[in-house]
Amino acid sequence: MYEGDKLIAASFFDIGKNTAASILGMYDPDYQHYSLGFYTMLLEIHYCQQAGIPYYYPGYVVPGYSRFDYKLRIGEVEYYDLRTANWQPFRELHPGDIPIETMRRRLEALQSELGNLQVPSKVLYYPLFEANLFSFWRAAYFDYPVLLHCYPTAAAHYSYIVAYDVREEAYVLFKCSPFEDVQVLINEAYLMRLDRDRYFAKLLVVDQKLWQTNAAKEIAGILRMMST
C-alpha cells in the first residue's frame, strides 16, 4: 500500500494447493490509527477469493492475550479441535477446553494422586516442545508443552516424564534423556532466565514410551511401584 510514492504497508502470505496462510504484516507507525495491518489481511482474503482458494489461516491467537485478537475481526473463524480432529467455531471454544489447560488440569490431578502415595512429582511448563520443528538433529524430541516430572532430581541422567495426550485422552509415561549439546540448538542464556519452579529447562529426547492409560490412579500406582 502506498500514499503517493511512499510505501506505508505491506504483507507476506504463503499459498498452498487450497489454503493460504498469513505470515507477516508491517506498516508505517505514523499510520497506526488506520489499522493497515488488518486491512492487508482483508486484501489477502480478497486475493484468495478471486483465486478460488477456499481456506485462509490468519495465524494463531492466544486466548486471554488480546494482542492477537485483531485476527478474530475477519469473520467467523474456526479452531482445530485436537480431540475430535475437526474444525469448530471459535466462538464456542471454552477457556477450560484449550488443550494446554486440559493437560495442566489432568497432570495436576495425577500429581495429587502421587502426593497421596508419597511419590514426589512436579507439574512444569516445557517451552522447548517445538524442538521437532526447528532442530536439524534427528531425534525423538519430547513435544508436549506441559509435563509432570516424576521423582525430580538434578542428579539423574534420565527422567520419568508424564504427559497428557488430549487426542487420546490418556496419560502417557515416558523415559527421557536430556539432549547434551543443547547450546547447538538453543540460546543457553534464554534457558538460564527460566524460573525452575515453573519451567522444565532441559531439552528432552524420548528414549521409551512406557505406559498409556486414561486413569490417573492406574498410572499413579505404576509410578509408586517404580519408586520402590
Give this prediction's pTM: 0.81
d(CA 163, CA 171): 6
Report the run of H or E that residue 73 belongs to, with start and end: none
Q: What is the pLDDT of residue 189?
A: 73
Q: Which amino acid is at 185?
A: L
Q: Show the 3-state SS of 103-121.
A: HHHHHHHHHHHHHHCCCCE
pLDDT (tens, 9 = 90+) of the chain, 228 residues, equals: 999 999 999 999 999 999 999 999 999 999 999 999 999 999 999 999 999 999 999 998 887 788 889 899 999 999 999 888 999 999 999 888 899 999 999 999 999 999 999 999 999 999 989 888 876 677 899 999 999 999 987 566 889 999 999 999 999 999 999 887 655 566 667 777 888 899 998 889 999 999 999 999 999 999 999 988
How confident is the model at residue 67, as a pLDDT?
A: 86
pLDDT (0 to 100) of residue 182: 59
In angstroms, rounded to a whole number, what is the distance separating the alpha carbons of residues 216 and 128?
Answer: 25
Dist. CA 15–CA 23, nearest whole Å: 10
